[in-house]
């Protein structure tokens, strides 16, 4: 017959075994990125720090180390010739990760060519993939579409994008993005849906004009608008139409666009992204 001490020890062992069997297994996360100017690297490191994730850089064998015009010129030539640049081998074993954050700058409306090279080589089937990007005016949505087509068997989760002119917003926005996605715990403020849009008033059109003033790639007139409250102020969603202009080869084609504008109390309006 077992003694009471033996019985208590047995119960304790059973409870310990049950605890181990029901312990949550944390997913293994990799932050993988390509960065030319350092902006995407900044976002990647912010995500890595908050998640305690592993990090790996995609490196072009022949770096895009020229100035803006030189980079654009080389990229245009590669696109015209159907060239995808070579990249250095990835050192991590992708099969060991459950979630992969993929970061890149937006070039010509989609992820930069070194990321295209990586996606041509990699099979991310069955993995959760979280895109993040930096851009001059926009490109998250179009790049996510291309990413989904390139990796149809991966689960592409909602992504994060930030203008290069707004890098100071990265720590706060990444924190909210990761909390909203359930990657880290903590309070965040869910945003309301935009209500139905209406014709932009003169005052609202002035907000749009102030937000895009000085940005050479946007020469447009606000037509309709919708707005919603955000913790720091108000966010506007404008539908705008390009105005006639004489443009060089890098000017976007005329057409309709959606422009997101944030107005923080006491600060000038700033646009956060454009969707064409």
d(CA 240, CA 199): 11
Is 165 within the bounds of a domain? yes
126 and 251 housed in the same domain: no
d(CA 222, CA 204): 8
The confidence score (pLDDT) of residue 1 equals: 47
Domain boundary among 132, 148, 180: 180
39 and 160 housed in the same domain: yes
66 and 175 housed in the same domain: yes
Is 83 within the bounds of a domain? yes
Under a CB-based contact definition with an 8 Å cutoff, are residues 102 and 94 in contact? Answer: no
Is 267 within the bounds of a domain? yes
81 and 115 housed in the same domain: yes
174 and 38 housed in the same domain: yes
Under a CB-based contact definition with an 8 Å cutoff, are residues 55 and 49 in contact? Answer: no
For the domain that residue 95 is a member of, what is the CATH number? 3.40.50.360
Domain boundary among 180, 215, 231: 180
The confidence score (pLDDT) of residue 160 equals: 98
70 and 160 housed in the same domain: yes
Cβ neighbours for 87, distance < 8 A, ≥ 6 positions apart:
58, 59, 60, 61, 114, 117, 118
208 and 254 housed in the same domain: yes
Which domain covers residue 270, as residue numbers?
A: 198-275
Cα distances from 205 to residues 89, 133, 226, in angstroms, run: 49, 28, 12
Provide the 3-class DSSP secondary structure of residue 259.
strand
Q: Closest by alpha carbon to 75, among 42, 32, 117?
A: 117
150 and 238 housed in the same domain: no
d(CA 107, CA 272): 17
207 and 89 housed in the same domain: no
Is 251 within the bounds of a domain? yes
Mean pLDDT by 10 residues, the chain (276 residues): 52 55 77 97 98 98 86 89 94 97 96 97 97 97 98 98 97 97 94 97 98 93 97 96 71 80 95 96
User: Domains in the chain: how many in total?
Assistant: 2
Is 186 within the bounds of a domain? no
The confidence score (pLDDT) of residue 29 equals: 98
157 and 70 housed in the same domain: yes
131 and 230 housed in the same domain: no
């Amino acid at each position: 017959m077992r003694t009471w001490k033996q019985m208590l020890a047995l119960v304790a062992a059973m409870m310990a075994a049950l605890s181990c069997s029901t312990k949550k297994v944390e997913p293994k996360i990799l932050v993988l990125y390509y960065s030319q100017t350092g902006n995407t690297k900044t976002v990647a490191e912010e995500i890595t720090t908050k998640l305690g994730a592993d990090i790996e850089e995609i490196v072009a064998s022949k770096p895009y180390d020229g100035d803006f015009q030189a980079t654009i010129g080389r990229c245009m030539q590669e696109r015209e010739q159907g060239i995808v640049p070579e990249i250095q081998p990835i050192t991590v074993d992708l099969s060991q990760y459950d979630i992969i954050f993929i970061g890149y700058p937006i070039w010509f409306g989609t992820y930069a060519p070194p990321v295209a090279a990586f996606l041509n080589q990699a099979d991310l089937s069955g993995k959760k993939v979280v895109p993040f990007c930096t851009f001059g005016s926009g490109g998250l949505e179009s790049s996510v579409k291309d990413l989904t087509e390139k990796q149809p068997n991966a689960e592409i989760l909602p992504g994060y994008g930030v203008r290069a002119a707004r890098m100071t917003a990265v720590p706060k926005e990444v924190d909210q993005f990761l909390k909203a996605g359930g990657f880290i715990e903590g309070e965040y403020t869910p945003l309301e849906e935009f209500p139905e849009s209406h014709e932009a008033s003169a005052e609202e059109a002035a907000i749009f004009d102030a937000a895009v003033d000085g940005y050479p790639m946007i020469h447009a007139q606000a037509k309709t608008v919708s707005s919603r409250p955000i913790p720091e102020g108000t966010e506007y969603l404008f539908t705008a139409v390009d105005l006639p202009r004489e443009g060089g080869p890098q000017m976007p084609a005329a057409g309709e666009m959606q422009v997101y504008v944030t107005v923080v109390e006491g600060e000038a309006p700033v646009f956060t992204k454009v969707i064409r």
